[in-house]
A and B are shown apart, each in its own frame.
Chain A
Amino acid sequence: MKFILNYFSSVKLAITLLIIITLASILGTLVPQHRTEAEYAMHYGQLAPLLIKLEVTDLYHSWWYMGLLFLFSLNTAVCTLTRFGPKWRKAFQPRVESEPSKIRTLKISGEMKLKAPLVQAAEKVAATLKSRHFRTRQATHEGRVSILAQKKIAGLFGSDIVHVGLLIILAGGIISGFSGMRRMLTIHEGRTLEVPEAGISLRLDKFQTDYYPSGAVKDWKSTLTVIEGEQEILTQTIEVNHPLSYQGFMFYQRNYGYDWQNPRFEILAQKKDDPDFGDQLNLGLGEKTLLSDGQTEVEAINFVPDFIIGEDGRVASRSNQPNNPAVLIEGRQQGERLFAAWVFSKFPDFGQMHSEKEHNFSFQFQNIESTEYSGIEMAKDPGVNFIWAGCILLTLGLFVAFFWPPSEIRVALEQAQERIQVTAGGIATKNKYAFQTEFDTILEDLRRDK
């Protein structure tokens, strides 16, 4: 037990672990993570099964990386705990008496002689130190007055605060890993979706995409109403960077999409030889309508949002986005097919007409109406509060550690014939130059008004 404690209280172990974890982390950025076995086989050949077996392909969640982080946490905890007691005593229950011979061995030290009687001399030294914001303690022992002056002593604990913060962050990470959950929700405008995990229903009142004048997307906004039972609890508009938080569940605007189940098309039918002819058609998929010439029937028989002709020569949709919407319309006269044509909303002049007979029609695909849905990610992460608490401590501790440098001055005063022999020495682990200057100034002050 003692051996284990000693082992884990070693800073050498911490440094070794830091180096190993750093190298492992680098490895994880060099080998692409979470790819398919086939991709690994292609890239790494013979090495692929080994990489997969050692979980290098999901390195940051692998048992051995977790294990390293665990050892590192244990090391941090033991180091912090074993050093805390002595540090606490040093700060709050310090030994005040010091021997002049020991003071002289400190890196920063100085000596002088004062004329006043011992008690007054000690008072003067203490007052000078206090005027420089040192906290002083005095002790008299065998005719020698010892003064211990400390400043910014909280700075000693900066690193401990950092370590505690770090441990809380790692604990938060474990909690997130075990009890966090995420799920994608797809809600159509005007509809309500049950969310059993949270015991609520969500209604999407409105979905909106904002654009910049250039046409680039500025933001997506979903107005959501939280319904518990029959009751509407709250309505809030979420957008990217501004999620909805409800009883530990977060709802993020993630993406959006179009529902191409029931699109409607606005199409203008014209005749090349008759400028007065212009029929405004409004069709759904599979719907027919008779043109105003009274004999031509037009039907929308197919639609793709992102038109492409695949390698097999067939029409397909490249994506679900309306990048190149096209509708296939067919014209008939007296039950006989007259033409079939793909009409493009973005390329009005481009049409693929397959005409069986001579005709004069041309079509313009003016608009499509479809319902959009909003992609909302639901997440619950009980670890997150630990993370924030840990982050606050981590940051606070770092600023304390680096911007609140503690220092200590020890002074011994002894009667030496007519005068008082003053021996002073100081310790500062950080900010040594500034401390040296301060120490010299204090001694200078004491010498000046002897």
Chain B
Amino acid sequence: MLAKRIIPCLDVTAGRVVKGVSFVELRDAGDPVEIARRYDEQGADELTFLDITASSDDRGIIFRIIEQVASQVFIPLTVGGGVREVQDVRNLLNAGADKVSINTSAILNPQLVADAAGRYGSQCIVVAIDAKQAASGRWEVFTHGGRKATGLDAVAWAIKMQRLGAGEILLTSMDRDGQKNGFDLALTRAVTDALDIPVIASGGVGNLQHLADGVKLGGADAVLAASIFHFGEYTVQQAKEFMAQQGIEVRL
């Protein structure tokens, strides 16, 4: 049976892994290549790198990091952040990314998703959706780290991205991100039930039960977390053992 995936997420800026609370208050977590290697050894199913570099001067750094990781770590690598055109997708794939995550640019130019999927295949196009609850059972898509509302309904947007060729959705609750009080399970469930493509739940993991809930209650195909792994609270292996005890199929 197909295993549910655990995906450690590395937010990278200026060549370092950092983690903040709701996209502010960044805290240094270490060297990305070293961290990637450690998670691979612990049995991570995939790794996601988000380049949150603000300055365009530093944009080249992520390519060198991905090149180094890809020569040492033989599991799928997703890279996102600052992907604006098909050429950016190509450059990241050439550096060693297996999938490229598109967020704000998908909203500014939805055709980018169709073009990138048409050129490189849906399997390597992830659309990242940052959503905030607007009302009970309704979530709005935000950009710019949760600061800018788009007026788009998150479920409708996810369906549209699937139709344009996204192979997977990385769904982050901006209400929960960095809060450590668990995924927005209603959001996760609403999106995963509406789609035929896999959904990665993100935002809010503070303990191992949260990961299990994302799968069992949220219906996520994969769960993503950052700080619980970065700061040594849990290893990926511990997370998998916990999920297995809860009857979730994992790769041990």
- A interacts with B: no
Measured CB to CB, the residues of A under 8 A from B are: none
Measured CB to CB, the residues of B under 8 A from A are: none
